[in-house]
Amino acid sequence: MWVNEAWAQAPAGGAGGGMESIFLIVAMFAVLYFLMIRPQMKRAKEHKALIDALQKGDEVVTAGGVLGRISKVGDAHLTLEVAPNVEIQVQRGAVQTVLPKGTIKNS
């Protein structure tokens, strides 16, 4: 008695909106892949190649900012000489950059 009848409205976009929404989702995934996932995979691949190519005598910078010369190479760890007669062990993955030879000066 007090309630009016409710009538459903027709969709604003009309029929057939399913195909456009699927295309939009696929397009968003493609943009996400090319802007975020692919560059990250490329950087990870380059870092793995850098880690695998480390050898004795290379001058490196670790993730913590420590500069040193590699004195021993192991499977999982490296020994860095950070000062004369001062050596530390770091994980191979902690190496961020290989410096050009002669960058670290002996004092």
Closest CA to 61 of 101, 104, 98: 98
pLDDT band for position 103 (50/70/90)?
A: confident
Residue type, 58: D
Q: Which residues contact 17 (CB under 8 A, 6 or more apart)?
A: 11
Query: Domain 54-99 falls in which CATH fold?
Result: SH3 type barrels. (2.30.30)
34-80 pLDDT, tens digit each: 999 999 999 999 999 999 999 999 999 999 999 999 999 999 999 99
- Residue 13 — very low, low, confident or very high, per pLDDT cuts 50/70/90? low
Amino acid sitting at position 9: Q
d(CA 62, CA 77): 12
pTM over 0.75: no
- The encoded tokens of residue 19 equal 């195909």
